Amino acid sequence: MKRILVSIKRVVDYNVRIRVKPDGTGVITDGVKMSVNPFDEIALEEALRIKEKGLAEEIVAVSIGPADCQQQLRTALAMGADRAVHVQTDAAIEPGSAAKLMLKLIEREQPMLAILGKQAIDDDCNQTGQMLAALWGRPQATFASKVEISGDKAQVTREVDAGLEVLEVDLPAVITTDLRLNEPRYVKLPDIMKAKKKPLETVEPSALGVSPVERLKAVKFDPPSQRSKGVMVKDVGELFTALRGKGLV
């Protein structure tokens, strides 16, 4: 079966203003709106478009994290994923552990593609897709802004510092998605109701033979410093005087 595996991460909604706890031990999440990581929404949308072209038969959404992640998986099912797998754990999941858990699911599901968002907006690590490709021993195409599937190959246009680069990779492969790849579809109420009947499997990391390991510890969180007010200048000479005063020229 031509199957696509898509990762879904639960993050603070991108429209929410992040607030740091008074003691600096983390970010306030109580009562805060949580959503699917925007890059993962793009990954799922691309998988749906590939399926709608008749190039895939099934889309499986995967999320790793606490029980609340099922809310985001239901959103993925409402968007059009056929079924979902929730690796339920309260442990801190770093990119290496996420890649190992994804690999175990890949070995079980045997997908032709694993599509991930290039990064999550909470940690900005941009590592899981690359690690997964290395562990899987399959090609990777990161920062995809265009994906075309033809037979057993994928042609991926990716964004690099110098412009655009086009890669052709053999399938199965790992693709990570950039913002300009597509615009995710709007989820309608009937689709949300239908999603409640779609299968959502829950497994624990131990059942997959993986024990998440926390290698990094956040020592302190600080909010970004407030921006100073801008200064109006009358002409170029006054601009340079202001810049010299700040030691910038």
Q: What is the pLDDT of residues 210-231, one digit of tens each?
A: 999 888 888 888 888 887 788 7
Question: Where does residue 26 fall: left (phi above 0), alpha (psi -120 to 50 degrees), or beta otherwise?
Answer: left
Q: Which domains does the chain have, with CATH numbers?
A: 3-245 (3.40.50.620)
Average pLDDT, the chain: 92
**Residue 243: per-residue pLDDT:** 87
18 residue type, one letter:
I
What's the pTM? 0.87
Q: What is the pLDDT of residues 107-142, one digit of tens each?
A: 999 999 999 999 999 889 999 999 999 999 999 999
Residue 202: which residues within 8 A CB-CB, separation 6 or more? 70, 85, 86, 88
**Residue 45: per-residue pLDDT:** 97
Cβ contact 43:117 at 8 Å: yes
Tokens describing residue 143: 């920062």
Cβ contact 24:61 at 8 Å: no
Q: What is the pLDDT of residues 161-216, one digit of tens each?
A: 888 999 999 999 999 999 999 999 999 899 999 999 999 999 999 999 999 988 88
Which residue's entry shows tokens 């997908």?
111
**Residue 181: per-residue pLDDT:** 93
Tell me the average pLDDT across 44-61.
Answer: 96
